[in-house]
Amino acid sequence: MHPRDLSSHTAYEAGRGVEEVARELGLDPDSLVKLASNENPLGPSPAAVEAIRAHADRVHTYPKASHADLTAELAERWDLSANQVWLAAGGDGALDYLSRATLEPGDGVLVPEPGFAYYGMSARYHHGEVTTYPVSKAEEFEQRAEKILADYDGERIVYLTSPHNPTGSEVPLSEVEELAERTDDGTLIVVDEAYGEFSDRPSAVSLVETRDDVAVLRTFSKAYGLAGLRLGYALVPGSWADAYARVNTPFAASEIACRAGLAALDDAEHVERSIEVAHAARERMYERLDARTWESAGNFVLVEVGDASGVADELQERGVIVRDCTSFGLPECIRITCGTEEETRRAITECNEVLREAT
Ligand X SMILES: *Cc1c(COP(=O)(O)O)cnc(C)c1O
The binding site for ligand X (CB under 6 A) comprises 90-92, 116, 161, 165, 192, 194, 219, 221-222, 227, 232
Alpha-carbon gap, residue 128 to 120, rounded angstroms: 9
Least distance in angstroms from the C-beta of 57 to ligand X: 27
> Is the CB of 103 or the CB of 226 nearer to ligand X?
226
Least distance in angstroms from the C-beta of 2 to ligand X: 29
**C-beta separation of 191 from 160 below 8 A:** yes
> Is the CB of 32 or the CB of 227 nearer to ligand X?
227
Q: Concatenated DSSP letters for 38-61?
A: ---TT-S-HHHHHHHHHTGGGTTS
Identity of the amino acid at 308? A
**C-beta separation of 156 from 109 below 8 A:** yes
Least distance in angstroms from the C-beta of 190 to ligand X: 10
What's the DSSP call for residue 126? T
Least distance in angstroms from the C-beta of 221 to ligand X: 3
> Is the CB of 191 or the CB of 354 nearer to ligand X?
191
Least distance in angstroms from the C-beta of 245 to ligand X: 22
Q: How many CB atoms lie within 10 A of CB 108?
A: 18
> Is the CB of 14 or the CB of 358 nearer to ligand X?
14
In 3D space, the residue among 339, 257, 352, 265 whose CA is nearest the CA of residue 35 turns out to be 339
Least distance in angstroms from the C-beta of 233 to ligand X: 9
Cα of 306 vs its chain's centroid, Å? 25
> Is the CB of 41 or the CB of 232 nearer to ligand X?
232
Alpha-carbon gap, residue 236 to 188, rounded angstroms: 10
Least distance in angstroms from the C-beta of 335 to ligand X: 10
> Is the CB of 12 or the CB of 62 nearer to ligand X?
12
> Is the CB of 122 or the CB of 318 nearer to ligand X?
122
Q: Which residues pair with 301 in a beta bridge?
A: 336
Alpha-carbon gap, residue 142 to 113, rounded angstroms: 12
Q: How many CB atoms lie within 10 A of CB 62?
A: 12
Strands (E), the chain: 33-35, 85-88, 108-113, 129-134, 157-161, 188-192, 214-219, 232-235, 292-293, 300-304, 320-324, 333-337
Least distance in angstroms from the C-beta of 359 to ligand X: 31
Task: Give 4's contacts (C-beta < 8 A, 6+ positions apart).
Answer: none
Q: Could you tell me the maximum CA-CA distance found in the chain, to the nearest angstrom? A: 60
Alpha-carbon gap, residue 302 to 104, rounded angstroms: 36
> Is the CB of 67 or the CB of 222 nearer to ligand X?
222
> Is the CB of 90 or the CB of 168 nearer to ligand X?
90
In 3D space, the residue among 328, 331, 335, 321 whose CA is nearest the CA of residue 282 turns out to be 335
Residue nearest to ligand X (CB): 90
Least distance in angstroms from the C-beta of 227 to ligand X: 5
> Is the CB of 259 or the CB of 318 nearer to ligand X?
259
Cis peptide preceding 105, ω within 30 of 0: no
Least distance in angstroms from the C-beta of 218 to ligand X: 8
